[in-house]
Amino acid sequence: MKIALNNTFITDNSKDVESRCYFVVTNSNSKYADDALDSGANLISPKQAMELLGLKNCIKIIGITGTNGKTTTAFLLAHTLSNLGHKSAVSGTCGSFIDDRQIAKKGLTTSQILETISYIKQAVESGCEYFIMEVSSHAIAQNRIEGLEFELKIFTNLSQDHLDYHKSFSEYARVKSSFLLDECNKIINGDDLNISYNNTNLLTYSLFSGDIYASSFELKSGINATIKNSTEEANLSLDLHGKFNLYNALGVIGATKKLLNLDLQSICDGLKGFKGVAGRMEIVSHKPAIIVDFAHTPDGIEKVLSSLEESELIVVFGAGGDRDKSKRPIMGQIVAKYAKVAIVTSDNPRSEDPNSIIEQVASKMPPNTIKITDRKEAIKKAIDIQNGEILLILGKGDEDYQEINGVKYPFSDQEVVKEILNKKDK
């Protein structure tokens, strides 16, 4: 990564180093610092890079962390701020965006620090007041947010994920909590008891009680809720589905209250018109009803399926390879609880045998569970047997590839659905 600076540049890659350039020393490249110094580079920290680029105090950085809901919360917050007259950039799982313009394709949920700084620079140059970024547990553990001064931090929720990396849920929780222990402004899901945080500059949100809460709500046709704080009451109406999205909305309302201090009804009105994020409860077809969602953790799957528990469901899903294996049978059990028909298929098997993953997922599911390794064939089977049920295709969301043995083959759940439906129409 290189960023131009006057007659030289800033880099985090020792192979790019030239005399008089600046080499940002990070957690991942520190072993090359001496080589960069020997080649004539000036060694700087990420914080110094921000200062050299004139970015310090030029934009307000908002960090969103949690197992699920980060992406929807980020885009809903940007949408709300825009409706209220404030321009934002977003960086996370879907890539990096300024308004509707994509400035970087999807990669890591939280990019390497110099990449993030380059996105912040573009956001400042485009007149953004806010830079909203997803902050993953990997990024916290690997110090990929070093040098960033956050105006506000949002915590969504915590459930089992990434135990292949963190080894235990308690360690995962510790890492997430470490992001919330400073005195920065914080918006915390008060209904989630798995996290620790500093109470200074804190605002909690909840479905029951808290600084901002939903005193009543109805979820049958979108989200309709009464939102309260200690002195105000407002009506919220959103074209999103599920209790989990009400939580996301409450987090955004709390964040906007902290940032802009507007009246509660103006903030709730600012959320209106949000159409969701690609691959997050994305309706690909109305007749037949087919929805694609990114849910790939036990908690994420539970939230999606429980939001539609009054409907009959056909669910196509799998589990990623080279990731936490302990969650696979749990995911299968949750799908079995809600689905009329469950089809276990391949997700991103990576270096693992997809059939082995499928067997682990299905190990505690009923014997009549359908297993189809080829994901396209699994989706076709589901559409063929669909008879008024809602078809949910889970795990990949807006991904446009399937990763098998180190190769990313083109694959989109949405495009596969459209192709199959087009053939049926003909």
Q: Do 119 and 40 fall within a single domain?
A: no
Name the nearest CA neighbour of 276 among 107, 74, 92, 102: 74
Q: Do 32 and 160 fall within a single domain?
A: no
- List, in order, residues 6 or more apart from 221 with CB less than 8 Å away: none
- Cis status of the peptide bond prior to 288, with omega within 30 of 0: yes
Q: Do 238 and 260 fall within a single domain?
A: yes
Please tell me the predicted confidence (pLDDT) of residue 84: 98
Q: Do 16 and 138 fall within a single domain?
A: no
Residue 53 lies in a domain: no
Banded pLDDT at 365 (limits 50, 70, 90):
very high
Residue 54 lies in a domain: no
Mean pLDDT of the 394-421 span: 97
Has 63 been labeled as part of a binding site? no
- pLDDT at residue 357 greater than cutoff 90: yes
Residue 387 lies in a domain: yes
CATH number at residue 226: 3.40.1190.10
The token pair that represents 330 in the structure block: 């749990």
Residue 51 lies in a domain: no
- pLDDT at residue 47 greater than cutoff 70: yes
**Final residue of a domain: which of 241, 270, 299?**
270
Has 67 been labeled as part of a binding site? yes
Has 297 been labeled as part of a binding site? no
| Angstrom distance (rounded) from CA 95 to CA 104 | 5
- pLDDT at residue 162 greater than cutoff 70: no
- pLDDT at residue 164 greater than cutoff 80: no
Q: Do 254 and 394 fall within a single domain?
A: no
**Final residue of a domain: which of 270, 302, 332?**
270
Has 395 been labeled as part of a binding site? yes
Please tell me the predicted confidence (pLDDT) of residue 267: 98
Mean pLDDT of the 344-367 span: 98
Has 222 been labeled as part of a binding site? no
Banded pLDDT at 241 (limits 50, 70, 90):
confident
- pLDDT at residue 13 greater than cutoff 90: yes
Mean pLDDT of the 232-247 span: 94
- pLDDT at residue 320 greater than cutoff 90: yes
Has 199 been labeled as part of a binding site? no
Has 350 been labeled as part of a binding site? yes
Has 93 been labeled as part of a binding site? no
Over pLDDT 90: what percentage of the chain?
A: 92
Do residues 344 and 318 make contact, with C-beta atoms less than 8 angstroms apart? yes
Q: Do 258 and 290 fall within a single domain?
A: no
Please tell me the predicted confidence (pLDDT) of residue 369: 98
The token pair that represents 237 in the structure block: 């109406």
**Total domains present in the chain:** 3
Report how far apart the first and last C-alpha atoms of the chain are (Å, whole number).
Answer: 49
Please tell me the predicted confidence (pLDDT) of residue 220: 83
Has 204 been labeled as part of a binding site? no
- pLDDT at residue 88 greater than cutoff 70: yes
Please tell me the predicted confidence (pLDDT) of residue 110: 95
Has 144 been labeled as part of a binding site? yes
Has 71 been labeled as part of a binding site? yes
Mean predicted lDDT score pLDDT of the chain: 95
Please tell me the predicted confidence (pLDDT) of residue 309: 87
Banded pLDDT at 163 (limits 50, 70, 90):
low
Has 174 been labeled as part of a binding site? no
Has 19 been labeled as part of a binding site? yes
Please tell me the predicted confidence (pLDDT) of residue 425: 85
Mean pLDDT of the 320-341 span: 97
Please tell me the predicted confidence (pLDDT) of residue 142: 95
Has 418 been labeled as part of a binding site? no
Residue 383 lies in a domain: yes
Residue 55 lies in a domain: no
Q: Do 17 and 158 fall within a single domain?
A: no
Has 66 been labeled as part of a binding site? yes
Residue 84 lies in a domain: yes
Has 328 been labeled as part of a binding site? no
Has 356 been labeled as part of a binding site? no
Taking only the tens place, the pLDDT of each residue in 262-280 is 999 999 999 999 999 999 9
pTM of the predicted protein model: 0.90
Do residues 273 and 79 make contact, with C-beta atoms less than 8 angstroms apart? yes
Q: Do 304 and 222 fall within a single domain?
A: no
Q: Do 312 and 244 fall within a single domain?
A: no
Has 68 been labeled as part of a binding site? yes
Taking only the tens place, the pLDDT of each residue in 274-313 is 999 999 999 999 999 999 999 999 989 999 999 898 899 9
Position 379, amino acid:
I
Residue 52 lies in a domain: no
Taking only the tens place, the pLDDT of each residue in 102-126 is 999 988 999 999 999 999 999 999 9
Please tell me the predicted confidence (pLDDT) of residue 310: 84
Has 110 been labeled as part of a binding site? yes
Do residues 424 and 383 make contact, with C-beta atoms less than 8 angstroms apart? yes
| Angstrom distance (rounded) from CA 136 to CA 109 | 6
Has 349 been labeled as part of a binding site? yes
Containing domain of residue 356, as a range? Answer: 282-425
Over pLDDT 70: what percentage of the chain?
A: 99
Taking only the tens place, the pLDDT of each residue in 59-86 is 999 999 999 999 999 999 999 999 999 9
